[in-house]
Chains A and B, each alone.
Chain A
């Protein structure tokens, strides 16, 4: 199997992280704590109001849950690509480039951090509870759509992670700029689209495609019409954006790697 070297690298990472056991479990717990801040903030909002943009608490929680699972999956798989800034600045990317393996794959495997697994568990619990509370009339099609939407969402977020990290090839000190679309994108998709202003919604929801991750699949699951006005089949077509984004991100990544100039020291 062609991926075996990557798996070996990732497994080595997992073993090394698990060797400091207390630290490992503390990190797992800490990840949960940080994540629950978002959930608590959402719940506090619903203390004050009964609906957000025309959606009830369980309905918003479904969107929140889909986003949480998709984002956690992407974060587990490629979240550490953010560290590429360090590699570019220090020039250690050279060592990765000379190896007879894919650059992206190596970086992901080397920085794989298993402790983010707890976030996926956490997101799944939220999603499960939300789906239960929302009282959805399940059909086989909807189950399939949910599964595909989660995978597609994870793909989409991964693409966003990779694409924003590529900026480091041109602008090393880009700082938190990438957070706009990664963590900002997560927050954006956690809430229903109609609450946003028209230009903001169009820019982030449709041009960047963040609206298709959780909002439209959730609409289909909940059986609600779209207040924004797109036809009902949008939800069924939404998962297509995931692979599309992945292709775009791959192109950007290739361009970026070709533009890599080492530090020269």
Chain B
């Protein structure tokens, strides 16, 4: 995408110009020139055409207009004006980030290039807030995105801290860059810092670990906070505690009751955080109210916490899927001719029925289990086919074993696998082939082609859920009847390597489960191409090729050059299909280790399920059932 880098350049330019506007002597000519330049910059933004960029441009333009309106105030509140613009920019940036359109790198680079000088200390805040938003986007957590929507520093920091659970590095780095000494001088800034620290502290252990890691602990205030912090964090700050006890330390002056009040407030915050009540308030929009003058407790609660009564009393039970709007309903497209709209007394047809509302968790699990059981029973009837497949798997197991044995014949090792591990790899692969079912699933594509897929949409259950549950049931059956026999044959003929560690068993099972999910999603996506193409032989062939070759069925991926192998692991889901469980169970010693493998699989499973859901939703809007 060309957008982000272009965006970064434009933003930098904009910020520079803004900075100039603040810095230039107050001559009319300079002002006019600056305005012109700013307009040009905004125009350039507009040119780049993306909807996001346009929105950004509009926002920035707004900010600049406001800054011109505030021109008279500039003489007295120079920094205030700067901050106003900054906060606008920050909001725009964050939105861009939350929208997920701006990649992290370019934005970060542009932020770094912003001129950070003394009157611009607020820029580091901008960085923090921007980052918080970015991490939020990375997490794809709407709750977080909502949280970072407010422009307040504590909120941003808190979301940064929450996001830091997943991606700690960038947030930490940005926190470290906050100019500590420069801010300490003014009392108001200090109060804000205190507030932010409390916000971080309000997160409990996770946030507190950040405190230790960031260098912010140098502030004496934090030392006071440590009284309220959990033990592990306190253990990380022994020296600071000493300093606290020393009379006349560099702590800020504060009366004893003030300290007590602060502790009480922090305690409340901790409690709220632990009970999960620190939530964003709905409907609060970004505002330039950067100046946090409210007390710490109010500041933390205002706009972030919702009392429990409100939530409980808030209307009917939540639905797992939002109620259908008119856009979601599939109506006969095109002209409203007689046949489509009631020629035979048939009104517009809603192709997707309302789903069963979410009532409780066990009900959902029960429904899923029932569907899985259906899948299990359904495939249990194909006994002869399963037998034939078993024989085929065994034959190919022998073929691949002998080839790999020949490969490792010279040294007894091949790419880090011992001979026994290679054999285990091959035969586990043959056993798992039937479990993940790489090939031969065209059910969805066939149903789309024949139009039967409409039946899936009429069920009070999302199509994806139905198919996934049934596939998991099928995989469970395959684990019972197709996994073990090839392994037994192989252990009689060759002798395989049993796992050495006890934890390999649960981890291996988890890995198999994840590979089934990943494989299902890939098959689902390939099949779903039929929604658009009808004839999906092309994607199917590509899938056949990639899944077998890059999935680790024909040879271990470690036979490939290192960079290529890593690219495959990180950038494609294919190694998660077979290579992942095979490496975990055969206890391959090299990289990536078993835990990283399972992590990668988790990541791909989540991503692909999301993709399937997205594709299904898009497809439901465009589906045209063939024939009548």
Contacts and interface: CB of A to CB of B under 8 A. Distances in A.
Given A53-B406, A173-B384, A187-B399, A48 B559 contact: yes
Chain B interface category by residue count: 35 or more
A interface, by DSSP: helix, strand, loop or mixed? Answer: helix
B396 A184 contact: yes
A33 B537 contact: no
Contacts of B395: 180, 184
Contacts of B385: 173, 175-176
A48 B559 CA distance: 6
Nearest to A177: B388
Contact of A47 (B409, B549, B560): B560
Interface stretch (A105-113, A131-139, A190-198): A190-198
A234 interface: no
Given A45-B555, A48-B415, A184-B399, A34 B407 contact: no
Contacts of A36: 545
Given A47-B559, A48-B559, A195 B554 contact: no
Given A37-B548, A175-B388, A176-B389, A27 B403 contact: no
A195 B402 contact: yes
A52 B402 CA distance: 10
B52 to A, nearest CB: 36
A49 B554 contact: no
A45 B556 CA distance: 10
B388 A173 contact: yes
Nearest to B548: A37
A34 B559 contact: no
A196 B407 CA distance: 12
A147 B544 CA distance: 32
Given A37-B548, A180-B395, A196 B559 contact: no
B399 A188 contact: yes
B410 interface: yes
B461 interface: no
B392 interface: yes
Given A34-B541, A180-B391, A191-B403, A49 B408 contact: yes
B389 A175 contact: yes
Nearest to B401: A197
B391 A30 contact: no
Given A34-B541, A37-B548, A44 B389 contact: no
Nearest to A46: B407
B373 interface: no
A33 B545 contact: yes
Given A173-B384, A173-B385, A45 B559 contact: yes
A49 B407 contact: yes
B538 interface: yes
Given A23-B535, A176-B388, A48 B407 contact: yes
Interface string B140-165: 00000000000000000000000000
B403 A49 contact: no
Nearest to B408: A49
9 contacts: A30-B541, A34-B541, A47-B559, A47-B560, A51-B410, A173-B385, A177-B392, A179-B392, A200-B402
Interface of A: 23, 26-27, 30-31, 33-34, 36-37, 40-41, 44-45, 47-53, 171, 173-177, 179-180, 184, 187-188, 191, 195-197, 200
The 4 closest A-B pairs by CB, nearest first: A175-B388, A30-B541, A195-B406, A41-B554
